[in-house]
């Protein structure tokens, strides 16, 4: 429709203005030396990424009102000082941009409070030197019986000569209807149908920058399946002292939690590599809800 085209045009213009302002801020840093240039360029790139993700979220997520996101992007574009503040804050390595994607940034007077929320706390995990470690994460809705589902992933990082990339294996549990009167049976390890108590997967991991606060994980469930990718970001601790990890998968953002975080794999333990072994592994290790 004409309205849809006009809306897209306005958003495109605002995105271009924000990108131009952000890049101008990075060029100003040129007089301060190479390190300042790199920091400012990183901040500019993250600022542009935030607004692009917002635009994408409005287009794909029915829960986000497109007109409100459009107004939000317009407010950012209209405030040069606000863009400068975003670039400066996002130039730091310990920032979680997914918080800014989720937050309403249209009230530019609340800049400091919103940006403070995006800065990772001192307990954030760095995905470096992962060889021989494991990480179990749970969907926080597991503890909400009314949600009637149970989801968990455990990653096992293989030995590697690199501190920033390597291979991994994983076990996945996902039951749709858990705790309800008619849960899926979970007998045939069908992950897509939400009825698996143990599905084995293999893949790779790679940190996305020198800070190590985020990594790209690629998982393949079976030889016949297409691999899927997710960006995993450490997000510090929640109010229950559980470590939080944000997953950016196919344009959506989810926050999962871990009781123990990254831990060393027990010496001599044979890691699960089949669906049956993954199912038994989750039965044997029930230390997390």
Confidence of residue 2 (pLDDT cuts 50, 70, 90): very low
The CA distance from 99 to 246, in Å, is: 10
Per the prediction, the chain carries an average pLDDT of 76
pLDDT, average across residues 118-130:
82
Token digits of residue 281:
């592994």
Q: Determine the pLDDT at residue 258.
A: 93
Which residue in 222, 216, 229 sits closest to 275, CA to CA?
A: 222
Per mean pLDDT, which range of 24-28, 41-45, 245-249 is the poorest?
A: 24-28
Evaluate if pTM is beyond 0.75.
no
- For 164-179, the pLDDT digits (tens) are 899 999 999 888 765 5
pLDDT, average across residues 6-29:
64
Q: Determine the pLDDT at residue 29.
A: 55
């Amino acid at each position: 429709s004409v309205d849809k085209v006009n809306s897209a045009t306005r958003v495109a213009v605002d995105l271009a203005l924000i990108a131009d302002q952000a890049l101008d801020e990075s060029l100003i840093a040129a007089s301060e030396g190479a390190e300042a240039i790199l920091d400012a360029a990183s901040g500019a790139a993250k600022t542009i990424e935030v607004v692009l993700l917002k635009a994408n979220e409005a287009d794909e997520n029915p829960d986000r009102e497109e007109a409100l996101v459009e107004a939000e992007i317009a407010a950012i574009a209209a405030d040069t000082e606000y863009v400068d503040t975003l670039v400066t804050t996002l130039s730091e390595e310990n920032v979680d941009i997914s918080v800014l994607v989720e937050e309403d940034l249209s009230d530019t007077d609340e800049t400091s409070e919103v940006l403070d929320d995006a800065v990772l706390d001192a307990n954030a995990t760095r995905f470096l030197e992962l060889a021989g470690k494991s990480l179990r994460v749970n969907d926080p809705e597991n503890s909400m019986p009314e949600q009637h589902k149970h989801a968990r992933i455990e990653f096992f990082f293989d030995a590697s000569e690199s501190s920033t990339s390597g291979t991994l294996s994983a076990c996945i549990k996902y039951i749709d209807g858990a705790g309800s009167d008619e849960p899926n049976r979970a007998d045939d390890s069908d992950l897509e149908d939400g009825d698996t108590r143990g599905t084995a997967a293999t893949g790779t991991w790679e940190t996305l920058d020198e800070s190590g606060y985020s990594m790209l994980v690629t998982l393949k469930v079976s030889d016949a399946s297409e691999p899927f990718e997710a960006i995993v970001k450490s997000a510090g601790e929640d109010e229950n002292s559980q470590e939080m990890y944000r997953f950016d998968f196919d344009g959506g953002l989810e926050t999962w939690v871990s009781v123990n975080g990254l831990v060393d794999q027990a010496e001599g333990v044979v890691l699960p590599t089949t669906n049956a072994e993954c199912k038994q592994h989750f039965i044997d290790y029930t230390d997390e809800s």
